[in-house]
């Protein structure tokens, strides 16, 4: 097994959160490698980012609509990506333990889109930003969507921060408060995008609890993209056929009523109030 096969095998062994983190890391490293080649051909490095970063001007968005998503895959510096990935792993791991991995993907990209739209609308609406046209990069809006989704879903869950136990809702309130306070100070566009992502995370969680998954289009769009790039299978005439192996019976689904009662208990009393059996049941439901 060569080096690239090992990388591919390692990537396939990751869960959904780890795969997204790996993609973000690659997108952070590659531009630094390209910088050398762009320098040799006298191409300005910022021209590379102009194809992916989000501009608030209508003309740029009209000719580069993909930047409403691609801006989230690039980061300004190591500190920028480091804290985003720490928070993404923290909140994303909780989400995929309770929900299907696709809901995590939906939440992240819905947050990215919402953050980008809030950024664009704000710089075209508020007089304080008149004449300004900054560029937006970073996955913070998507990360905030995942975090606030979980804060809204189980606000009184205790999480360990160093040597302290903190309710999840207090972490969400802290991040939103810091973004609101910092808007007049620095990086106003970035903080507005964070708030847009957080708002999407809250609204999306409430909608999911009512049985309305308005972010399901992300799943369908992703499936259509994957099917487009998959090679079509050519028809082959069978010479002989062998008996098909019997399929193993699927495991029974965990009783949803029990899961709902456990989640209600978490919201009221916190995760620590669960019995060992309830924790095991919740864990199996997250893996199914």
pLDDT tens, the chain, 288 aa long: 566 677 777 788 889 999 999 999 999 999 888 888 878 887 777 777 789 999 999 899 999 999 999 999 999 889 999 999 999 999 999 999 999 999 999 999 999 999 999 999 999 999 999 989 999 999 999 999 999 999 999 999 999 888 889 999 999 999 999 999 999 999 999 999 999 999 999 999 999 999 999 999 998 888 887 777 666 554 444 454 555 555 544 444 556 777 777 777 776 666 667 787 777 777 676 555
Cβ atoms 110, 69 nearer than 8 A: no
**What pLDDT shows up at residue 163?**
84
Exposed, middle or buried, 157 (CB in 10 Å: 0-12/13-18/19+)? Answer: buried
**What pLDDT shows up at residue 34?**
86
CA–CA separation, 231 vs 228, rounded Å?
A: 8
CA–CA separation, 67 vs 18, rounded Å?
A: 23
Q: Mark residue 131 as left, alpha or beta (left: phi above 0; alpha: psi -120 to 50; beta: remaining).
A: left
* Cα angle 212-214-217, degrees, rounded to a multiple of 5: 135
**What pLDDT shows up at residue 277?**
78
**What are the beta bridge partners of residue 161?**
164
Structure tokens, 178: 């810091």
**What pLDDT shows up at residue 248?**
47
Which DSSP string do the residues of the chain spell out, in sequence order?
Answer: --HHHHHHHHHHTS-HHHHHHHHHHHHHHHHHHHHHHHHHTT--HHHHHTTTSB-SSHHHHHH-TTHHHHGGG--SSHHHHHHHHHHHHHHHHHHHHHS-HHHHHHHHHHHHHHHHHHHHHHHHH-GGGTT----B--SHHHHHHHHHHHHHHSTT-EEEETTEEEEHHHHHHHHHHHHHHHTTTS-HHHHHHHHHHHHHHHHHHHHHHTT--TTHHHHHHHHHHHHHHSPPPPP---S---PPPPPPPPPPPPPHHHHHHHHHHHHHH-GGGS-HHHHHHHHHHHH-
**What pLDDT shows up at residue 171?**
95
CA–CA separation, 157 vs 151, rounded Å?
A: 8
**What pLDDT shows up at residue 48?**
76
């Amino acid at each position: 097994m060569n080096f690239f096969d090992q990388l591919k095998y390692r990537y396939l062994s990751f869960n959904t959160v780890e795969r997204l983190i790996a993609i973000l890391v690659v997108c952070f490293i590659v531009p630094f490698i390209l910088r050398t080649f762009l320098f040799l051909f006298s191409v300005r490095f910022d021209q590379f980012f102009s194809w992916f970063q989000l501009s608030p001007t209508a003309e740029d968005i009209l000719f580069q609509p993909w930047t409403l998503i691609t801006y989230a895959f690039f980061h300004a510096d190591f500190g920028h990506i480091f804290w985003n990935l720490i928070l993404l792993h923290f909140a994303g791991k909780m989400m995929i333990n309770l929900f299907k991995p696709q809901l995590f993907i939906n939440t992240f990209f819905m947050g990215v889109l919402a953050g980008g739209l809030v950024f664009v609308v704000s710089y075209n609406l508020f007089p304080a930003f008149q004449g300004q046209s900054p560029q937006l990069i970073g996955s913070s809006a998507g990360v905030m969507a995942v975090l606030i989704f979980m804060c809204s879903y189980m606000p009184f869950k205790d999480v360990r921060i160093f040597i302290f136990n903190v309710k999840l809702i207090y972490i969400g309130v802290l991040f939103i408060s810091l973004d609101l306070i910092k808007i007049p100070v620095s990086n106003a566009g970035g903080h507005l995008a964070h708030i847009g992502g957080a708002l999407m995370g809250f609204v999306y969680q409430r909608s999911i609890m009512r049985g309305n998954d308005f972010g399901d289009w992300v799943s369908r769009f992703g499936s259509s993209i994957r099917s487009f790039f998959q090679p079509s299978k050519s028809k082959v005439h069978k010479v002989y056929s062998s008996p098909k192996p019997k399929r193993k019976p699927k495991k029974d689904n965990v009783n949803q009523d029990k899961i709902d009662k456990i989640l209600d208990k978490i919201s009221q009393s916190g995760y620590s109030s669960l019995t060992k059996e309830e924790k095991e049941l919740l864990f199996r439901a997250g893996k199914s």
